[in-house]
Structure 1
């Protein structure tokens, strides 16, 4: 189905809808884009001028992001691609009884099916890898660190135009990019965009940003990250969580 959609867009035959954005023009098919984007479906069905002229203009959006939106609607993906499944969390909590426990006393937290650990443990459980557990598949990330902002913009478009699959994909790509580019100057601006373009209840990207800073607490030394934390109101919460993890009173 994806290959057929891609071929239909490439051929340009039987297009019956035009999407424009600041001079960019996309001739698309209603039968493809409308079922996949709630906004376009409503514009065609209930819109006034849009329904009559079969032209939908998106003047407020980033032209590059709209280009990637069209790509997603036809291919179920957008550039840059990710070649392998996302990395799993370092700590894999498993409810199965462990085969042996952490060597430190007073530990009660299961970090994998082979080990226990807890907040009172003198060693840091985060980042722990069990030699007996399968290692996660490596993720090959192509493209520059600036893709962090691209993924945040795609998440925004997915939410604005009712493309649930795009939101989920953008969140996953954003998460993977954060794992690779957390120390790059592109991270704070992407984090700020993620927070300023989503409502408080939408945790998709917000939780990724919070976890990235939590896992790489040295980021708080950077002035641009400090400014972001102050504006987003995250600093105290992350600090308290980190203190609790380390067992500080």
Structure 2
């Protein structure tokens, strides 16, 4: 397996990413790359069963420690507004080479290597050597934006979440689920924070009941991250139960209905 890159394959795109960066932020990817699994031999991790939008946001987080605040690709903007089909998915399939992004650590290492090759540099100034093994690299907690020289997410528009009227409740629920699946604790905490902030602003959105269903169907009972936010929202806004779309979502989601019943009965929601 390439010691530098690993390929994350989603249903709509292929992401060539820095192995050390991805593995440093995901316990799942770290195990897949280091243990004697098929992924460690081929260098390809199959994510085609996951929601492609959630995969894109996950990859964006791995590099920028955020999502939905970066420039969107033209293709991703288009597919968010059109229904997808097998044919259209193949037509919009793309390969994004995230290895083209120059990570702050890689930039520092490249500069050191260039200095070592420069005959004008005195030998005593080259004493500060860097280990060229990416696997042993320690990445900074906060990436430096200016160090990224090429963003493979073809920038055509910037969509700050706070400036967009459209709700992203469902998106945050999906990102939360994929963060749990691939053991990316930072992304999971960020998705919960964004979900909680959005639910206050977009409580009347038609996306609210669907997001509730997504949260309950993709998490286990003991994972209270999104579930507690939803229960607290129902407790603070009892009129939500009068909405037909919310009623339908509750009827179709037994675990949500059960917890709302316990809440209404004055019992602990989760024991």
Band of TM-score, shorter chain: 0.5 to 0.7
| Equivalent residue, structure 2, for 1:238 | 263
SS in 2 for 1:56: strand
1:43 aligns with 2:32: yes
Q: What CA deviation, in whole Å up to 9, does each residue of 1:87-144 have, x standing for no partner?
A: xxxxxxxxxxxxxxxxxxxxxxxxxxxxxxxxxxxxxxxxxxxxxxxxxxxxx82334
- Structure having greater relative contact order (Cα 8 Å, sep ≥ 6): 2
SS in 2 for 1:28: strand
Q: What CA deviation, in whole Å up to 9, does each residue of 1:4-32 have, x standing for no partner?
A: xxxxxxxxxx9511111014011100110
Tell me, in whole angstroms, the C-alpha distance in 1 between the residues paired with 2:249 and 2:12.
34
SS in 2 for 1:141: helix
5 Å matches for 1:1-249? 15-80=4-69, 141-230=162-251, 231=254, 232=256, 233-241=258-266
* Paired residues of 1:141 and 1:177 also in contact (CA < 8 A): no
Classify 1:216/1:145 alpha carbon distance in 2 versus 1 (closer, same or farther; 3 Å): farther
Structure with the largest fraction of helix: 2
SS in 1 for 2:7: strand
Classify 1:215/1:159 alpha carbon distance in 2 versus 1 (closer, same or farther; 3 Å): same
Tell me, in whole angstroms, the C-alpha distance in 1 between the residues paired with 2:192 and 2:201.
14
Tell me, in whole angstroms, the C-alpha distance in 2 between the residues paired with 1:157 and 1:21.
13
Normalised by the length of structure 1, the TM-score is 0.64
Q: What CA deviation, in whole Å up to 9, does each residue of 1:54-80 have, x standing for no partner?
A: 111111111111011001011110004
SS in 1 for 2:187: helix
* Paired residues of 1:65 and 1:153 also in contact (CA < 8 A): yes
Tell me, in whole angstroms, the C-alpha distance in 2 between the residues paired with 1:66 and 1:77.
13
Tell me, in whole angstroms, the C-alpha distance in 2 between the residues paired with 1:187 and 1:179.
10
Tell me, in whole angstroms, the C-alpha distance in 2 between the residues paired with 1:215 and 1:188.
16
Uncovered stretches (5+) of structure 2, i.e. residues with no partner? 71-160, 267-271
Report the CA distance between 1:238 and its aligned residue: 3.3
Tell me, in whole angstroms, the C-alpha distance in 2 between the residues paired with 1:48 and 1:153.
26
User: What value does the CA root-mean-square deviation take over the aligned residues?
Assistant: 2.0
Uncovered stretches (5+) of structure 1, i.e. residues with no partner? 1-13, 82-139, 242-249
* Paired residues of 2:167 and 2:205 also in contact (CA < 8 A): no
SS in 2 for 1:153: helix
SS in 2 for 1:61: coil
Report the CA distance between 1:218 and its aligned residue: 0.8
